[in-house]
Amino acid sequence: MTTIDLGVPGLGPSGLAGVPALAEGETLTRKDFAPGNEVRWCPGCGDYAVLAAVQAFLPDLGLRRENIVFVSGIGCSSRFPFYLDTFGVHSIHGRAPAFATGLATARPDLNVWVVTGDGDALSIGAGHLLHTLRRNVNLTILLFNNRIYGLTKGQYSPTSESGKLTKSTPAGSVDAPFNPVSLALGAEATFVARTLDSDRKHLTEVLGAAARHRGTALVEIYQNCPIFNDGAFDVLKDSEESQARLVRLRAGEPVTFGGPDGTANAVVARRDGGGVEVISSEFAAAQGLAPIVHDPAADDPAAAFALSRLDDVTLSHVPVGIFRNVSRPTYDDLVRAQVDGAVSAAGGPAGDSALAALLGGADTWTVD
């Protein structure tokens, strides 16, 4: 089994705690999670790469397939549960987090995932997403961001850049786009990360850390739509361009990037008045400025938020990796504790006797 280093030790029980594991000596492979259905996305869609990575990664969790469930809303990405041999729910537009919250709360024996897109999650589903992050429900959210509506044929989305020409904005979008990572950090999400559909190794590492986090984990995945927004992230996939643009965040390490052979020619340093900025390593040395050291386990999300603001629609500097990974009580654990407390206060174990005690208690009334 592959071992994933979260980079943030000592943050409490794993998100997999309570989910039945495979029997000793039993193993699963990628084929066990591929049901054999014909996968129907457009040729070249980034969803294929994410699906392949998830199918290959799931055996590493060591969980029974019947204890894993994927919930989706509406959109191209929301076909995802159909292509995995686990339980799945293809739910309502924007409401996947609400469905998943119910599952995670009622069934602590399930490993719950949400698969959504930038339109599904950040437009009609924005309220559900924000409150799921705020509540810290124990589930993992994969947010596929291709900056366009694909299923409905090319309208602009909440992450499309200003001025974007689409079928619904023929004169150019006048909206300011969301930054999903900034949004999640502002909602006090306990785990926030970003990765790319084309970087299999990085994607798998981030998925492993997210799955093992107890609480809501949001992973934004930059993903290509070859039909309606082709090449949106090509500069991040070109070997030379990516070296100069991708800011790889690693716990406990200085935030540097851009140089050949892993040497830095740019650093991220704190600027006067708060926030961070990118400066050349030569200028930093001359001014005695040290690069910031990334700490995803910091209680205050301000530094992670500042890093998220380096990214903009030009993709000049794009931080990828785990922005935040902290421990906080989860919504579903707290709800179950409340229920257990109510049952105990009613004078009996869960079941008919507890219900009878509640119905026959002093706080009752009669309706004629």
Residue boundaries of the structural domains of the chain: 30-253+295-333, 255-293
Non-local CB neighbours of 261 within 8 Å, separated by 6+ positions? none
Q: Kindly tell me if the per-residue pLDDT of 2 is higher than 90.
A: no
Tokens of 42: 């457009």
Inter-helix orientation angle 96-106/126-135, to 10°: 30
How many whole angstroms separate alpha carbon 312 and alpha carbon 181? 11
Q: Are 221 and 144 in contact (CB under 8 A)?
A: yes
pLDDT at 346 (0 to 100): 62
pLDDT bucket at 267, cuts 50 / 70 / 90? very high
Q: What is the DSSP letter of 171?
A: T
Among residues 25, 79, 31, 37, which one has the least CA distance to residue 55?
31
Q: 3-class secondary structure for 129-146?
A: HHHHHHHCCCEEEEEEEC
> Can you say whether the dihedral through the CA atoms of 309, 200, 206, 53 is positive or negative?
positive
pLDDT bucket at 355, cuts 50 / 70 / 90? low
Range with the poorest average pLDDT among 18-27, 257-266, 298-307, 332-341: 257-266
pLDDT bucket at 259, cuts 50 / 70 / 90? confident
pLDDT at 195 (0 to 100): 98
CATH architecture of 30-253+295-333: 3-Layer(aba) Sandwich (3.40)
Q: Are 262 and 246 in contact (CB under 8 A)?
A: no
How many whole angstroms separate alpha carbon 304 and alpha carbon 298? 9
Model confidence pLDDT, tens digit, residues 182-226: 999 999 999 999 999 999 999 999 999 999 999 999 999 999 999
How many whole angstroms separate alpha carbon 142 and alpha carbon 132? 13
Model confidence pLDDT, tens digit, residues 30-65: 999 999 889 999 999 999 999 999 999 999 999 999
CB count in 10 Å sphere of residue 101: 24
Mean pLDDT value of segment 141-151: 95
Which residues sit opposite 322 in a β-bridge? 193
Which residues sit opposite 196 in a β-bridge? 222
Q: Are 282 and 256 in contact (CB under 8 A)?
A: no
> Can you say whether the dihedral through the CA atoms of 62, 58, 331, 249 is positive or negative?
positive
